[in-house]
Amino acid sequence: MAKKQQQRPTCMFCGSSEPVTKEHIFRSSWKKNLEVNQDLVLLPGVERKFRRYRQDDGSMVRDTSEDLFSVIVKRVCAPCNNKWMNDLDSIVEPWVFNPDDDDNRCDPNEFRRWAIKVALLRIHYDAPMAVEPEDPPRIYAGEDIPEWHVFIGHTAEPEHRHSLCGIGPVQLAIGGKAFGITQVSWTLGHSLVTALRVHGIDEVSKNCFLNFRQYNGVRRGVVREVTPTATE
């Protein structure tokens, strides 16, 4: 009996059936320019660990000391990888290297698109079905997605972190979440980005986002939002 041929995965952004490539979530060339040493010990007592948990019972399935720049997603075609995604990385690169320099500010719309692109890749790395199905094609088409809220900040000491968290049930049949919120955060050197995706207009979804903003306000603005209407 002939073996059943496996269907080739399509690009999560453009939908192309061209062979997918290995896409680094965080531009690998940044490693030599950023202070993100894996052995960084400027924060005593903080473990440099990357952990994965089962979605059904919350038990740990992975506990490694993973390099920030080795995090790879294999669901992107070469044209997307080498063209618009690479262009976005280049646009934000000056800000990533020095977020305190006012001359390094970039177009806020392009910055939001970059941040959402990174967030989508990071979600797919851990929980592919949690990605809202319509989000990758919209980013590919150059659209803004107002359900995504992008916040930026800077750290006093160079850091290297990336995390995914959230609340709300994943719709396993069609993907995305029925309601709730998804948060992706990362730090590259001194630059900090937090991207929040609100998954509905119900009270749970709205309150999750409001709680984040309230906490940020109590902390006197640890991060600032880059809104869809921002001019800088």
Closest CA to 164 of 186, 149, 133: 186
pTM for this prediction: 0.88
* pLDDT (0 to 100) of residue 40: 54
Residues of the chain with pLDDT under 70: 1-6, 36-49, 55, 65-66, 218-221
* pLDDT (0 to 100) of residue 196: 96
* pLDDT (0 to 100) of residue 230: 92
> Can you state the angle between helices 84-97 and 108-126, rounded to 10 degrees?
110
Residue in this structure with the two tokens 């809220």, named with its chain if needed: 149
- The identity of residue 3, as a single letter, is K
* pLDDT (0 to 100) of residue 47: 63
CA atoms within 13 A on the CB side of 76: 24
* pLDDT (0 to 100) of residue 69: 84
* pLDDT (0 to 100) of residue 27: 94
3-state SS assignment for residue 169: coil
* pLDDT (0 to 100) of residue 57: 74
* pLDDT (0 to 100) of residue 101: 86
Q: What is the pLDDT of residues 63-83, one digit of tens each?
A: 776 678 888 999 999 999 999
Separation CA 144–CA 125 (nearest Å):
22
Q: What is the pLDDT of residues 174-207, one digit of tens each?
A: 999 999 999 999 999 899 999 999 999 999 899 9
How far is C-alpha 96 from the chain's CA centre?
14
H helix intervals, the chain:
78-82, 84-97, 108-126, 135-140, 203-218
